[in-house]
Structure 1
Amino acid sequence: MTTFVDRVELHVAAGSGGHGCASVHREKFKPLGGPDGGNGGRGGDVILVVDQSVTTLLDYHHSPHRKATNGKPGAGDNRSGKDGQDLVLPVPDGTVIQDKAGNVLADLVGQGTTYVAAQGGRGGLGNAALASARRKAPGFALLGVPGDLQDIVLELKTVADVALVGYPSAGKSSLISVLSAAKPKIADYPFTTLVPNLGVVTAGSTVYTIADVPGLIPGASQGKGLGLEFLRHVERCEVLVHVLDTATLESDRDPVSDLDIIEEELKQYGGLGNRPRLVVLNKIDVPDGKDLAEMVRPELEARGYQVFEVSAVAHTGLKELSFALAGLVGEARAAKPEEEATRIVIRPKAVDDAGFTVVKEEDGLFRVRGEKPERWVRQTDFSNDEAVGYLADRLNRLGVEDSLMKVGARHGDGVAIGPEENAVVFDWEPTVMAGAEMLGRRGEDHRFEAPRPAVTRRREKQAERDEADQEFDDFDPF
């Protein structure tokens, strides 16, 4: 059964916003007290957060579909809907988030680092929020906006200071078990290590982490063995340690050729050429291993490597190795630039940015794209004529109609608002004014008008009676 997963495809869906409510306040002796529809709640976000207690992506391998809750709709009496609850997904330290095309969206390193993978939709406004001096009694409300749908790839890259690389059964797991408190599985057959193991090493005042990467073989960078799956765990390590087997039973292998093969695989993988390296000649507790180590050491040192002869079984040479690694880790940490204080980045909108674009496509269709018009379309109830008129007002004020005229749109031309897969298409009818202006005083109800003085009402009734009497006097049946 799979117990370690370091790459998954995750399908996340944020919650949709709740619909606004169209309601009129009613009470005794005041049957039409004005609009009181509440707003809908916003949908919940899907948030990835680094949790040091999580070490694998196994949970998302078994359950790759995750969804946040929707916002609740608004209600009468100015009651707003409840917001949807955010869905927080813990991920291991060192998780890289990519889209399906392989573009990196975020690199999560450090406890508590967060990334909003899918944003919840806005809640729709109720008719109380839509009321104004000109629109005293809106008979509609805005719909909630659907939440984001995202397909993302999570890839775990182990965060460690030192990586142990080498052939299977070179003694990497044994070495990490004696340098730290880690207890990896150890056996005398290849590919004992199937998952990266992490250990913490203390050398003097320096504390650093060390990773045991599963064994590499020729062709690992092209997918042979386990190398392609786990070479990514070497990327974040500041120091590479070649663990070479000096007591191998295979006649066609020796420490120098093993080193050349592993270096070639690291080169093919790319991005690791500038990492400091040292060489560990392991298993010198075996007589033949000790002799072979003494034989190849001068050649390795001539290449510029710092060489250590150790025995994980006999605990020989470990102290010198641990302090040498601490020195390299300290140098790597000192070379890193200091983390700057959090900066607020302000990106002002361009002066000539209208917030939307209008493009004429090859088939003659005019397509409108922009965050505002697309959101407004999603919020419109097209079964309500007043809501459609309100949308026309908003688009007209934004300048969409003027832009359509500038790019050559004419009466009856097709206009689409939104992306090709989810657009609203209609035949354009150019007008001088749109929506409320065409309808006069759309959204106003005389029942909500302030009552006129009693004297004025009596005068008007008397004028109506006088006019009726005059008509009767002027009537001549003959």
Structure 2
Amino acid sequence: MTTFVDRVELHVAAGNGGHGCASVHREKFKPLGGPDGGNGGRGGDVILVVDQSVTTLLEYHHSPHRKATNGKPGEGGNRAGKDGQDLVLYVPDGTVVLDKKGEVLADLVGHGTTYVAAEGGRGGLGNAALSSARRKAPGFALLGVPGDLQDIVLELKTVADVALVGYPSAGKSSLISVLSAAKPKIADYPFTTLVPNLGVVTAGSTVYTIADVPGLIPGASQGRGLGLEFLRHVERCSVLVHVLDTATLESDRDPVSDLDIIEEELKQYGGLDDRPRVVVLNKIDIPDGQDLADMIRPDLEERGYRVFEVSAVARTGLKELSFALADIVAKARAAKPKEEATRIVIRPKAVDDAGFTVTYDEAEEVYRVRGEKPERWVRQTDFNNDEAVGYLADRLNRLGVEDALMKAGARAGDGVAIGAEENAVVFDWEPTLMAGAEMLGRRGEDHRLEAPRPAAQRRRDRQAEHDEADREYDEFNPF
């Protein structure tokens, strides 16, 4: 039995980036042929894509944990790691993506609309990419960045032009079955329909979609019955159709009271005051139903409603209703603003934006550094490698982190945390001493290989080597 699910909580994890490789090219007569470690591959993204053939979120209800593949690590010989494969999740048209707090992240309407729910981590650079004129043979590589972990909520809001609302057993399912090719479940007891049904109607040159919204009873907007679960499905409609039962067998109900109660629930739900209303008096094929319709129609028309008398069983009055709804839908579509061409918005970086912030956390008694670059650099650093740690310190210094710490009042030995509280890297700060750098070289640089010497200097060095060899020969061969 197919189950309709229109709200799920989804836990998505993007792929981690692959680690870079630290490797040195070696071959005969070239024991130190230079760095040749390749870069790690990018982790795969988790992407939501609208597919009109998908009508429910049932698949994600049963399997809420989804993860993309990781990037492969780099290898020697300048071989880059393979990128992770993106994970594409197909969702119904009209799916809304929210975070755990209920904030809307994306509204996916239209076939092919995409949203990246979790972005894969970038791959770490190999030592070949880290080499430079001053750092010829780095003995380290950068680690891959972990992929995003997100907990999101998917809510389905049916994309329909016309929404049928009314009490249970008012005849909404019967009406949609004769207006379109939809085949909903129909029975003579309340709450027969447990899921919204969607049908396509053709009236002249206008084609529109129509949906019935089940489970509306007094208190639906506060969670009674099924109303609160399905009221969201009327939010995107262009017109609301009240289906009133003129042949109800319940003595404490009448069509006008039903209309007032449903209108109050729609008002409590909110956001639907601007939608045009149409009233359909259903089941006029029953003698008592026709008599009651004749009695209440003048009252409804005085309220400003357009009233149609129909019978889903006898199929009377359906053509007039279908074309009237098509006219309202066409006018609503024409009134919508035309979509403008996509504009590229350029937001230049502020002149005084350093890309990070430094604040003092009194509770933890540390200076906390937050920013996209410092936090990513920390995640990419292998703290078991002194050269990699020195490279990180130089990057932070060039970014201006040390100057910002000094301005914030930090002193040698104070605690510094880079990142959020749950995964920060904490260390005792020691300011970089730049004195004597011309002798010691910068951290992370290779001291084994020197810069090319001028030709005259090379000749003098060779002559000095020959003289030293001659002196050693004379010492061991006095005769």
Shorter-chain TM-score: what band? over 0.9
Q: Report the Cα distance in structure 2 between the residues aligned to 1:297 and 1:136, rounded to whole angstroms.
A: 90
Change (3 A) 1:58 1:36: same
Amino acid at match of 2:466: Q
| Alignment deviations for residues 307-345 of structure 1 (CA, whole Å, 9 cap, x no partner) | 000000000100000011011101111110001111111
8 Å CA contact 2:37–2:79 kept in 1: the answer is yes
Amino acid at match of 1:148: D
Per the TM alignment, residue 49 of structure 1 is displaced from its structure 2 partner at its CA by 0.4
8 Å CA contact 1:393–1:436 kept in 2: the answer is no
Match of 1:440 in 2: 441
Match of 2:175 in 1: 175
**What stretches of structure 2 of length at least 5 have no aligned partner?**
none
| Alignment deviations for residues 263-301 of structure 1 (CA, whole Å, 9 cap, x no partner) | 000000000111000000000000000000000000000
Change (3 A) 1:151 1:436: farther
Q: Report the Cα distance in structure 1 between the residues aligned to 2:196 and 2:86, rounded to whole angstroms.
A: 32
Change (3 A) 1:447 1:439: closer
8 Å CA contact 2:8–2:57 kept in 1: the answer is yes
| Alignment deviations for residues 126-170 of structure 1 (CA, whole Å, 9 cap, x no partner) | 000000000000000000000000000000000000000000000
| Alignment deviations for residues 215-241 of structure 1 (CA, whole Å, 9 cap, x no partner) | 311001111111000000010101000
Worse-matched range after superposition: 457-466 or 279-288: 457-466
Q: Report the Cα distance in structure 1 between the residues aligned to 2:393 and 2:42, rounded to whole angstroms.
A: 25
Match of 1:331 in 2: 331
Match of 1:216 in 2: 216
Per the TM alignment, residue 81 of structure 1 is displaced from its structure 2 partner at its CA by 0.1
Q: Does 1:312 align with 2:312?
A: yes
Match of 1:82 in 2: 82
**What stretches of structure 1 of length at least 5 have no aligned partner?**
473-478
Change (3 A) 1:140 1:436: farther
Match of 2:400 in 1: 399
Match of 2:424 in 1: 423
The DSSP-based 3-state class of the residue aligned with 2:15 is coil
Identity %, equivalent residues = 85
Amino acid at match of 1:222: Q
The DSSP-based 3-state class of the residue aligned with 2:89 is strand
Q: Report the Cα distance in structure 2 between the residues aligned to 1:174 and 1:438, rounded to whole angstroms.
A: 89
Amino acid at match of 2:430: E
Change (3 A) 1:395 1:12: same
8 Å CA contact 2:136–2:449 kept in 1: the answer is no
Q: Report the Cα distance in structure 2 between the residues aligned to 1:231 and 1:451, rounded to whole angstroms.
A: 79
8 Å CA contact 1:56–1:92 kept in 2: the answer is yes
The DSSP-based 3-state class of the residue aligned with 2:69 is coil
Q: Does 1:142 align with 2:146?
A: no
Q: Report the Cα distance in structure 1 between the residues aligned to 2:302 and 2:354, rounded to whole angstroms.
A: 66
Change (3 A) 1:434 1:23: farther
Match of 2:386 in 1: 385
The DSSP-based 3-state class of the residue aligned with 1:394 is helix
Change (3 A) 1:288 1:382: same
Alignment of 1:84-233 (within 5 A): 84-233=84-233
Q: Does 1:412 align with 2:413?
A: yes
The DSSP-based 3-state class of the residue aligned with 2:169 is coil
8 Å CA contact 1:73–1:82 kept in 2: the answer is yes
8 Å CA contact 1:396–1:434 kept in 2: the answer is no
Worse-matched range after superposition: 458-467 or 294-303: 458-467
8 Å CA contact 1:165–1:215 kept in 2: the answer is no
Change (3 A) 1:171 1:405: same
8 Å CA contact 1:359–1:367 kept in 2: the answer is yes
Alignment of 1:235-384 (within 5 A): 235-363=235-363, 364-384=365-385
Per the TM alignment, residue 444 of structure 1 is displaced from its structure 2 partner at its CA by 2.1
Q: Report the Cα distance in structure 2 between the residues aligned to 1:277 and 1:225, rounded to whole angstroms.
A: 23
Q: Report the Cα distance in structure 2 between the residues aligned to 1:338 and 1:397, rounded to whole angstroms.
A: 49
| Alignment deviations for residues 187-231 of structure 1 (CA, whole Å, 9 cap, x no partner) | 001011011001111111111000011131100111111100000
Amino acid at match of 1:406: K
Per the TM alignment, residue 362 of structure 1 is displaced from its structure 2 partner at its CA by 1.3
TM-score (norm 1): 0.95
Change (3 A) 1:388 1:462: same
The DSSP-based 3-state class of the residue aligned with 2:329 is helix
Change (3 A) 1:328 1:434: farther
Root-mean-square deviation (Å): 2.0
Q: Report the Cα distance in structure 1 between the residues aligned to 2:211 and 2:354, rounded to whole angstroms.
A: 52
Per the TM alignment, residue 450 of structure 1 is displaced from its structure 2 partner at its CA by 5.7
TM-score (norm 2): 0.95
Q: Report the Cα distance in structure 2 between the residues aligned to 1:289 and 1:202, rounded to whole angstroms.
A: 28
The DSSP-based 3-state class of the residue aligned with 1:280 is strand
Match of 2:468 in 1: 464
Match of 1:66 in 2: 66
Amino acid at match of 1:460: A
Q: Report the Cα distance in structure 1 between the residues aligned to 2:434 and 2:404, rounded to whole angstroms.
A: 14
Per the TM alignment, residue 58 of structure 1 is displaced from its structure 2 partner at its CA by 0.1
8 Å CA contact 1:99–1:152 kept in 2: the answer is yes
| Alignment deviations for residues 446-471 of structure 1 (CA, whole Å, 9 cap, x no partner) | 45766997854541123325766999
